[in-house]
Structure 1
Amino acid sequence: MTRNLTLLAAALLATAAHAQTATTVRLGYFPNLTHAPALIGLERGTFQKALGNVKLDARSFVSGTTLMEAFAAGQLDIAYVGPGPAINAATRGMPLQFISGASEAGAVLVARKDSGIKTYKDLAGKRVAVPSLGNTQDISLRHILGEQGLKAQTDGGNVNVTPVPPADVLAAFAANRVDAALVPEPWGAALEAQGNGLVGNEKTVWRGGQYPSTILIVNTKFAQANPGLVTAFLKAHADAVAFLNQKPAAAQAAVNNQLEKLTGQKLDPRVLQRAFTRTRFTTNLDLGALNEYAALNVEAGYARSVPDLKAFVKK
C-alpha cells in the first residue's frame, strides 16, 4: 500500500491552511546514500529556499538510534530515519507521523577479504558491524541470522553484533576490528572497492530488495502548528527525489560533495555509481512493507507487539 505525496501535501494544507509558529525547522539526517534526498536538498539549497524566511537547522547523525534520542528530547522537527528506529519510537508512544518515503533497498553485507566468510552461514563465530543496535540494519541482520539457525551473542548465540558508524566501517575493516558489516550504501560499495567480498546484496538482505530503507518523519505537534512549513518541506523533498531519479550524474556529484563535507571522505565516482544501482529513491510509503518490518522488530526483541502503523501515517 502506498501513499501519494501530492495527496498528502493537499491534506496537510487542508488541515490548517498556512498557519505557522516556528522560526526554525530542525532537520535530522545521516551521511549515507540512503538519505540522498536530504543530501540533495542541502547541497542544492532547495530546502532553505522552500522554507523562505524560516531558518533551516540541519544536523547530521551517525545512526537512527542517536537521531531518535534527539527527536525524543524535542531537538528535531523533521527527520530522515530508517523504519526500525521510527517504528520503535512509534511503539513507545513518541509523537510522530510518517509523512513520506525517501529510499528503498540500499543495504548490503560485505565481508573482510581474509575473514573466510562467503555465505550468511559463515557468520557463525564472527564479528559483524551494524550502524547501531536497534537500527534498521541491526534488525535485518538478526532476521538473516535466524534464517540461518544463528543468533547474536546477546540472544544466546555466537555472532558478535557490534555497532560501528557507517562512515567508520572502512577503518574498522582495515584494523581487523570486524569481520563483516551490514551497512547502508555507499559504504558497502566502498568496502567492496577495497577488495572485500559481497556476501549479500540489497535483494538478498530482505524481501527481494522491496523494503524501505529511509522514511521521512515529523513531530506531530510541529506538524499541527506548522502545516504550511511541512507542506513546503515535502515539496522540496519530492523535488530532491525527482532530481535523483531524473539527473543521476548530477545527483551523484551533489551527493559526493555532501558526503565529503560531512565525513571528510570523497568517494570514487565509480563506487558511488555502483551504490546508486542498489538504491531506489521514492516518496511512496509502503505500509505493507512497514508492517512486515514491524514484525521483524518484534522478532529481534526490540518490541513486544506490532503497532497499528496506520495511526502514524499522515492521511
Structure 2
Amino acid sequence: MNTRSLKLTTLAVAAMMLAGCAGSSAASTEPADLEGGTPAAELRLGYFANVTHAPALIGLQEGIFEQALGDTELSTEVFNAGPAAIEALSAGAIDATFIGPNPSINTFIQSGGQSARIVAGVTTGGAALVVRDGIDSAEDLAGTTLATPQLGNTQDVALRSWLKDQGFQTDTTGGGDVSITPTENAQTLTLFQNGDIDGAWLPEPWVSRLVVDAGAHVLVDEADLWEDGAFPTTVLLVRADYLAEHPDTVAALVQGNLDAIAWLGDNADDAAEEINAKLEADTGKPLDDAVIDRALQNVTFSADPHAETFQTLVENGLEAGTQKDGSIVGLFDLRLLNEALEASGADPVSAAGLGEDGL
C-alpha cells in the first residue's frame, strides 16, 4: 500500500477556490448507471489522520477495505484538510476520499455538478472552537487570532459563519474583527502553546490535543449548534466519472466503510489502540491515551451523511465567503449504500431530495 502526504499552501488553495468560481452553477442531476461499468484495477483513496476519519483508519489498519475490494489494488494518500483533497480529486490524482461536507459542496457547485458524488456518511460530531484562558464568551474574541485547518474546509466555514452570527466581520485574508489564520493542525498546536494564536476551530483529535496537551478549553461545541447535535463531519466522496465507470468497485468501498463502522461498534475496547496504531504509522507519533479517549467520546460513526443539513451548510459557506452560490441537487448518490444497508437488514438513509437514494 502506497501512502503519501500532500500539502497545499493557503495561497494555492485560495487561488484554486477563486478559479473554481468561474465554473457553471447549474448542477447536473443525471444519475450514474450503476448496472454497467467494470471493476477497477486500482482505487486511489484519500483520508486524513484525524479521529473524525476513524472508519478510514480502521478500514486500512484492519485490512477491511482490501478485503472488500478483492482484486482491486488499493493505494492511499493522507491529507491535512479538505481543499487539498479536492484538488487531488479534481486533478484525477485520487478516485475517492474521506472528507468534510463543505469541500464536497464546493467542488460540486464549482463543477456544475460534474465532479463528484457523496456515496455514504462516515462521522458526525467531533469539532469545536477551543480557546486560551481569559476567553469566556464570544465578546472576548474581538481582536484575537484564531486558526482553522485550511481556508474553505468544513471547520473554517463553521468558524466564519459562527463569528458572523456573533456580529464579527472576517475576511479570507486574515483581516476583520477576528483574524482567521488557516494553519496545518500540528502547527496550530505549536502556535497555541507558544501563545501566537488565541484558539482554533478544529476536528478531533486536535480539539482534545489542545485541551489536554495545551490547556485550552472549549468555547463552542459545534454539536450545540445543530438540532439533536447531529452534524456531518466526514463523508465519503467519489469522482462522478469513477462511479459511472466502476460502480461495483464503489459498492465494495461503500461496503468496506460500513464494515469499518461496524468494527468500531463491535470493538469499542480495542478501537483507541487500533486507531492510534494507524495514526502513528501515518504521522510518526501516537496520541496520548487521555487525548484519544476524550476525542472518541465526541464523535459518532454512521453511514448516514445527514443530507438534510447540507442546504444549511451551503448557506454557511456563502456567509463565510468561501464558496459560490449554486444548486446541490445531485450531490448525493446513496443507492449503493442503501442496497448494502437493505442487504444487512438496516434502515435506508435519505438523500433529502438532493440526489439519488433508491427510496
TM-score by length of 2: 0.79
- Output the aligned Cα RMSD: 1.9
- Compute the displacement of 1:240 (Å): 0.6
Aligned to 1:289: 309
| 2:68 corresponds to 1:40 | no
Residue number among 62, 77, 91 corresponding to 1:59 in the alignment: 77
* Partner of residue 142 from structure 1, selected from 155, 160, 171: 160
Please tell me whether residue 190 in structure 1 is matched to residue 209 in structure 2.
yes
Are 2:115 and 1:95 equivalent residues in the alignment? Answer: yes
Find the counterpart in structure 2 of residue 261 from structure 1: 281
Aligned equivalents of 2:38, 2:196: Cα separation in 1 = 49
Q: Distance in 1 between matches of 2:303 and 2:91?
A: 27
- Residue of structure 1 in register with 2:339 after alignment: none
Does the 8 A contact of 1:295 with 1:306 survive in 2?
no
The one-letter code sitting in structure 2 at the alignment partner of 1:56 is L
2:203 is equivalent to residue 175 of structure 1:
no
Residues 1:313 and 2:338 are matched in the alignment = no
- Kindly indicate whether residue 171 of structure 2 is the aligned counterpart of residue 166 of structure 1: no
Q: For 1:71, which of 82, 89, 97 is the aligned residue?
A: 89
The answer for the alignment partner of 1:120 in structure 2 is 138
Aligned to 1:7: none
Amino acid at match of 1:278: N
1:117 is paired with a residue whose SS is coil
- The answer on 1:239 being equivalent to 2:259 is yes
Which amino acid counterpart does residue 32 of structure 1 have in structure 2?
N
Structure with the larger helix share: 1
Contact 1:29 1:38 in 2 (8 A): yes
Q: Structure 1: state its 5+ residue gaps.
A: 1-10
Tell me the distance in 2 between the aligned counterparts of 1:240 and 1:289: 24
Gap change, CA 1:235 and 1:305, over 3 Å in 2: same
Match of 2:221 among 184, 190, 201: 201
Aligned to 2:34, the other structure's residue is in SS state helix
Higher relative contact order (CA 8 A, sep 6+): 1
Which residue of the partner structure matches residue 3 of structure 2? Answer: none
Equivalent-residue separation in structure 2 for 1:52 and 1:143 (angstroms): 43
**Is 1:102–1:282's contact at 8 Å kept on the other side of the alignment?**
yes
Q: Distance in 2 between matches of 1:168 and 1:206?
A: 29
How far apart are residue 22 of structure 1 and its match?
2.5
Residues 1:227 and 2:247 are matched in the alignment: yes
Match runs of 1:208-219 below 5 Å: 209-219=229-239
* Residues 215 and 285, structure 1, Cα contact 8 Å, conserved in 2: yes
Give, in angstroms, the shift of residue 153 of structure 1: 4.5
Q: Deviations over 1:79-107 (max 9, x none)?
A: 11101111000001142111000011110
Give the 3 Å change call, closer, same or farther, for CA 206–127 of structure 1 in structure 2: farther
CA distance in 2, matches of 1:72, 1:63: 15
Partner of 2:135, secondary structure, is coil
CA contact (8 A) 1:46 1:236 kept: yes
Please tell me whether residue 81 in structure 1 is matched to residue 99 in structure 2. yes
Aligned to 2:123, the other structure's residue is in SS state strand
- Tell me if the contact between 1:109 and 1:181 (Cα under 8 Å) persists in the aligned partners: yes
Shift in CA distance, 129/205, structure 1 to aligned 2, threshold 3 Å: farther
Aligned AA for 2:154?
Answer: T
Q: Which runs of 5+ in 2 are unaligned?
A: 1-30, 334-355
* C-alpha distance in 2 between matches for 1:141 and 1:288: 20
Q: Distance in 2 between matches of 1:229 and 1:21?
A: 5
Q: Tell me the CA shift for residue 273 of structure 1.
A: 1.4
Number of residue pairs aligned between Structure 1 and Structure 2: 300
Asked if the contact 2:105–2:331 (Cα under 8 Å) also holds between the matched residues in 1, the reply is no
> Identity across aligned pairs (percent)?
35
The aligned amino acid for 1:273 is D
Structure 1 distance, partners of 2:91, 2:81, is: 16
> What TM-score do you get using the length of structure 1 for normalisation?
0.90
Partner residue in 2 for 1:133: 151
Q: Secondary structure of the residue that 1:74 maps to in structure 2?
A: coil
- Indicate if the aligned counterparts of 2:110 and 2:324 stay in contact, CA closer than 8 A: no
| SS of 1:80 mapped into structure 2 | strand
Cα distance in 2 for residues equivalent to 1:228 and 1:198 = 43
Distance 1:167 1:281 in 2: 24
